[in-house]
Structure 1
């Protein structure tokens, strides 16, 4: 099929016209970027960070009845308006994305709706930004960063991204190329594990408050945009709250359910310690019960009660103060000193655990 000729007098694209796939770019082992143009030569007008909904003719044998609609963040920038791109990552339960990776080829046309969404730094102008993403949550951040690059703006961006392995980092080469040309973009990458037989010189481990302080020492002064799986964003929110960040300057977008309007935005009502709320810690092995505030740590309460819990770093890194909780709930924001398996079995780190009401610990 012939490529559409560029029409410099064309109108902006509207979703009355289908999109034509013109290129497929592999990004990682399970991720690809699909580049579309309008057959009429229309150009694309949107805010960096917004999304588009694709109408996909999925095979009914895959469990779908007719076409299905899937929403993807636009990974390209409106500063490059002659095409529009989405970058998709296959998940274990993917249907639409799996179809795109297996079947969508240049020359094919599909129906699309949008663009839309409220997740854009155009809506929240600031002097300095902190982008935090994981997995394919990097796509809106890439759109916003490309806009800043193309506009030659004097924007100060710290771009933090978390991935499982270095080979899973989407857009790594492009980000590093951007950062090597402008002083205002700092790229900070962390992986859970390095590749076998390959050197990794970046950060390693899950993103935590200690890492964040090294990556962006002035994080309290930055407007934060976050996108990724909900557990990742929850951990980021907990971390920022514990660090005293002004959460009115925090903005997030789940790549599972992008938000179209302010009225659709979910209310973030995270549980956080309240200095005016009373709590109680029962030290079962010592027979001591101590009253405290929710903002007190279990370690601090124990020390005031004359009890000794061995400790080291006091900020959730070394794991020395690990104790077992037998009742109640705590709010714990740690820096990697305890595993998910230990947490599931009832262990906590006393130095960074706040009692939410009445709790009991084996001390």
Structure 2
């Protein structure tokens, strides 16, 4: 009998381990108002996706004459490695996400950069977890929940999700299914609004210390992963800290904003503030003088040279370039791997020359 060409055992395939990839959209699925899941497969054949649940990728979106780069957390699970998915919410001022909603259809291909990120239970294993999310911050929690459900169905997970209304709860039906069939999965929803005709038996209002304790009485014994808008995460931090929770050891949150901006540095070996250093961009053939304190990204822009970038905070890794010679001061926020640094790569958005520098751009 002839073998189906679509079927491959995973040991006949190779892992998704490059730093840049071409993805082909294979499906889009509405999840909630203005929320969509886009599912992709690798453009290259015989590829399976390798990443940590909770990590993110950056997509290059052809919005206009110049593409834009947007960072999204992966919502799928690496335990199901043949496709990868992101779940995105369109805000009023969305540019990239609006383009995805209006134009991205099965068969279209996008460039992806990543995966990156340390926000994963794999990095911080525990006997018991508490996932707390709001809005589209549910996506890394869903990736981790799906992965744990496949690998360890008896995992002890408490999951609190906050939304504006019951209809805005992303993945509600899947979460309720897991709460029914995973023996140690404890689910709680909190909403802030109810329509006149909506029936709701869950909690209503804003998350606080009392609601956390009511939904998860043993929260002090769990490792907590939190994701959502910054005011929401600030409230969670204050609620936990006020209850004596061991924040330093057991609290982790995902944010695409750095804890603090990279400090300005004095450039030049002489230590003089007015030192001028040159930056050579080898692929464009330009050598320019860098303004004191300017990053490689700022220097490139001033010279009319485009380096792809997204977060500009040393988090997403989109602006990774190879430093061929010279020294830089790189104050990143986790957007580059140690082996990449060993190979000579730097993040242009947070790297400032300490000497004359040559970069592969």
Question: Is the partner of 2:47 in helix, strand or coil?
Answer: coil
Match of 1:69 in 2: 69
Question: Is the partner of 1:180 in helix, strand or coil?
Answer: helix
Asked if residue 41 in structure 1 is aligned to residue 75 in structure 2, the reply is no
CA apart distance, 1:243: 0.8
Match of 2:251 in 1: 250
Partners in 2 of 1:255 and 1:142 — Cα distance?
A: 18
Match of 2:174 in 1: 174
Asked if residue 121 in structure 1 is aligned to residue 100 in structure 2, the reply is no
CA apart distance, 1:57: 0.2
Match of 2:197 in 1: 197
Question: How well do the aligned residues superpose, as a CA RMSD in angstroms?
Answer: 2.0
Question: Is the partner of 1:122 in helix, strand or coil?
Answer: coil
CA apart distance, 1:17: 3.6
The answer to whether the 8 Å contact 1:5/1:41 transfers is: no
When Rg is computed on C-alpha atoms for both structures, the one with the higher figure is 1
Unaligned ranges ≥5, structure 1: 61-65, 267-363
Change (3 A) 1:228 1:16: closer
Question: Is the partner of 1:252 in helix, strand or coil?
Answer: strand
Match of 1:210 in 2: 210
Partners in 1 of 2:139 and 2:119 — Cα distance?
A: 12
Could you tell me the TM-score, scaled by structure 1's length? 0.68
Asked if residue 54 in structure 1 is aligned to residue 68 in structure 2, the reply is no
* Match 2:333 to one of 264, 269, 274: 264
Number of aligned residues: 258
Spell out, residue by residue over 1:300-326, the C-alpha distance to the aligned partner (whole angstroms, 9 max, x if none). Answer: xxxxxxxxxxxxxxxxxxxxxxxxxxx
Partners in 2 of 1:109 and 1:6 — Cα distance?
A: 22
Partners in 2 of 1:75 and 1:49 — Cα distance?
A: 7
Matched ranges for 1:319-334 at <5 A: none
* Match 1:11 to one of 4, 11, 14: 14
Spell out, residue by residue over 1:144-170, the C-alpha distance to the aligned partner (whole angstroms, 9 max, x if none). Answer: 000111113431111000000111100
Change (3 A) 1:172 1:148: same
Question: Is the partner of 1:201 in helix, strand or coil?
Answer: coil
The answer to whether the 8 Å contact 1:118/1:260 transfers is: no
CA apart distance, 1:143: 0.3
CA apart distance, 1:59: 3.0
